[in-house]
Amino acid sequence: MKISGDYDRCEGHGLCAEQAPAVFSLNHDAELNYRFEGTEVPAEQAESARGAATSCPVAALRVLP
């Protein structure tokens, strides 16, 4: 599974980082850091990453097929 991050859309709410801290974080400027950009999310992180992506209030994260 891959996730696409729209960094321009992200408003830094941090719900993704709360739900999947091994996958997402926010820097000191509340900008999204996505650890697996352009690659597959490891299977052990997939469930939390999917939940985090779907919880984004501004739809800045999208689960790719």
Number of C-beta neighbours around residue 53 at 10 A:
26
Distance CA 26, CA 29 (A): 7
Instruction: Write out pLDDT tens, residues 1-14.
Output: 999 999 999 999 99
What are the tens digits of pLDDT across the range 28-62?
999 999 999 999 999 999 999 999 999 999 999 99
pLDDT band at 23 (very low <50, low <70, confident <90, very high): very high
Q: E-assigned strands of 1-65? A: 2-5, 24-26, 32-34, 61-64
pLDDT of residue 65: 81
**Residue 43: its pLDDT value, please?**
97
Domain 2-58 has CATH 1.10.10.10: no
pTM beyond cutoff 0.75: yes
Helix (H), strand (E) at residue 56: none
